Amino acid sequence: MKFRTVLLFGAPGAGKGTQGKILGTIPHFFHCACGDVFRSLKPDIGIGKVFLEYSSRGQLVPDEPTIQLWHEFIQNSTRSGRFHPEQDTLVLDGIPRNPHQAEIMRNTLDVVSIFYLRCTQIDKLTERLQRRALKENRLDDANIDVIKNRLETYERETKPVLDFYGKQLVHEIDSDQLPAKVLFDILSDIVNV
Ligand code: ADP
């Protein structure tokens, strides 16, 4: 059985996490942010250590351990009754993060919609990330060179995911708007998919 899925897509700092958290509070939606799953791991051993190495340089964690960790998270969430695959829509944020991950997940996800949170001003993204670094103690947001790398990694490796799924699934949302309006735009579409 494939999971009915909507993807939150966009650059680091575009607001995927903010929207995902809200959507996850609505009955029959289950939010999974891949970065949060990584950050919940112990940073000194195993994949948690690998995560820290890559994310602190602004790079993606290798695909196989990423997908495996994601699978385990979904299995645990199903077992513990937080996620009900038959009736819930999965709201994914931060995964798949390149076309290879999308390919690996082809038989697992039934992607019905992609919300592309589009931010045209790089300065605004950078500023949001630096503010978040202070608030959430995130190493990958603290340093301007790492932020630059993250934005470049997004352009080079993540953006092509849009082509993998094709234009007809993509809903462009202006992420420069206030969070409530971004949510309104997402909800207006989500009720129709
Ligand atoms: P943001 O919301 O700013 O885009 P995330 O919290 O989603 O950041 O991700 C933080 C870091 O975690 C990424 O820069 C990357 O190193 C790692 N990461 C998260 N998701 C993935 C993924 N699907 N594949 C590889 N690396 C990932």
Ligand 1: centre distance to CA 27 (Å): 26
Predicted confidence at residue 136, as pLDDT, reads 81
Closest CA to 7 of 66, 91, 74, 89: 91
Which residue, judged by its Cα, is nearest atom 9 of ligand 1? 35
60 Cα–ligand 1 center, Å: 6
User: How far, in Å, CA of 82 to CA of 84, rounded?
Assistant: 7
Ligand 1 site residues (CB inside 6 A) read 12-13, 16-17, 34-35, 38, 54-55, 59-61, 66, 94-95, 97, 101, 140, 150
Q: pLDDT in tens for each of the 193 residues of the chain?
A: 999 999 999 999 999 999 999 999 999 999 999 999 999 999 999 999 999 999 999 999 999 999 999 999 999 999 999 999 999 999 999 999 999 999 999 999 999 999 999 998 888 899 989 988 888 878 778 789 999 999 999 999 999 999 999 999 999 999 999 999 999 999 999 987 6
Residue 141 Cα: closest atom of ligand 1: 3
Residue-level pLDDT at 91: 98
**Which amino acid residue places its CA nearest to atom 16 of ligand 1?**
55
**What's residue 28's pLDDT?**
96
Pocket test for ligand 1, best of 108, 140, 153 (most atoms within 8 A of CB): 140
The answer to whether the CB of 140 falls within 8 A of the CB of 58 is yes
* The pLDDT value given to residue 137: 75
For residue 157, the model assigns a pLDDT of 98
Evaluate the omega torsion of the peptide bond into residue 96 and state whether it is cis, within 30 degrees of 0. yes
Instruction: Supply the pTM of this predicted model.
Output: 0.93
- Report pLDDT for 133: 84
**Atom in ligand 1 nearest the alpha carbon of residue 55:** 16
- Comparing CA positions, the residue from 193, 186, 188, 189 lying closest to residue 93 is 186
